Amino acid sequence: MGRTLGLLSADLAGMMGEQVDDVPDVGNTNSFDSERLKRKSDAYYDDWYGRFYAGTHINTSFDVATSTQTEGKITFTPTLSAPVDATDLYYLSMEWEPEELIRGINNAIEMVEDEALEDVVNETLLVADSVYEYVIPSEFRNLEFVYQESSTADRYSRFSGLVPDAHWRILRTTPRKLWFDPDLANLTVDRNLRLVGQKDPSRLTLDSDVTQVSPAFVLQQAKALLHQSRIRGDGAEFSEHRSQMALAQGMADRERARIAVAPRGWPV
């Protein structure tokens, strides 16, 4: 089961330092109350970064302007077009902007794109009359099986629908094409083809986007990369970032050894 970008970002914010992850109680377009915010004194959360990672305002980052303890309230910018409501899960981060966290997560995923292959199925190709070459969708890294749709729409049989490997091959053109042998392949016009294979792990853009890459690896590798980005010299602050980077990298390396997915099928 995968993990969403929103959940990964909220978890990473907590790993990177002081953080709040909660649900608003009462809100309007530029402020909200939250029980967790009553734990700290006035102005404690001023200048922190925040993001709504689920609910009505999902994918929305903000900056904290002021915070008060009694009501557990923060005001933030920019102003929203609709009031904050109880669906709006949010997190606050003292030092790290949400965009930095997201960039670290994606950089971590890209580091294992050759190892953490994901399953992919595509049914967009339609058989045309006397056509035996079809452009393979660009998402495919490897192609394992090709099925032809049965006489019943959207139904693919594991037996009668499977196109034998000997009836097709991948042409090393640009873009790559799927070629069927006209003397062997029994293709029926206006039926869809189902391609089954593997793809690189997806880059995450929206908070609802899901990755199948191990969250333990992604979080530790992202943490290491973020600390590395703060190293600018030899002072005590930079030494702390080096120390945290080394710890996180060691844990990421151990997790990385467990995530390799064997390639299946033929390279595209």
What are 152-194's pLDDT values in tens digits?
A: 999 999 889 999 999 999 999 999 999 999 999 999 999 999 9
The contacts of residue 141 (CB under 8 Å, 6+ apart) are 117, 197, 198, 199, 200, 263, 267, 268
Q: What is the three-class DSSP state of 152?
A: coil
CA dihedral (105, 107, 111, 115) positive or negative: positive
End-to-end CA distance of the chain: 26
Q: pLDDT tier at 232 (50, 70, 90 boundaries)?
A: confident
Cβ atoms within 10 Å of 124's Cβ, excluding its own:
10
What are 112-125's pLDDT values in tens digits?
A: 999 999 999 999 99
Strand pairing report for 142-148 and 266-267? antiparallel
Q: Is the pLDDT of residue 237 over 90?
A: no
What are 31-61's pLDDT values in tens digits?
A: 999 999 999 999 999 999 999 999 999 999 9
Cβ pair 41, 69 in contact under 8 A:
yes
Cβ atoms within 10 Å of 243's Cβ, excluding its own:
11
The model carries a pTM of 0.87
Q: Is the pLDDT of residue 1 over 80?
A: no
Give the containing element (helix H, strand E) for 126. Answer: strand 118-126
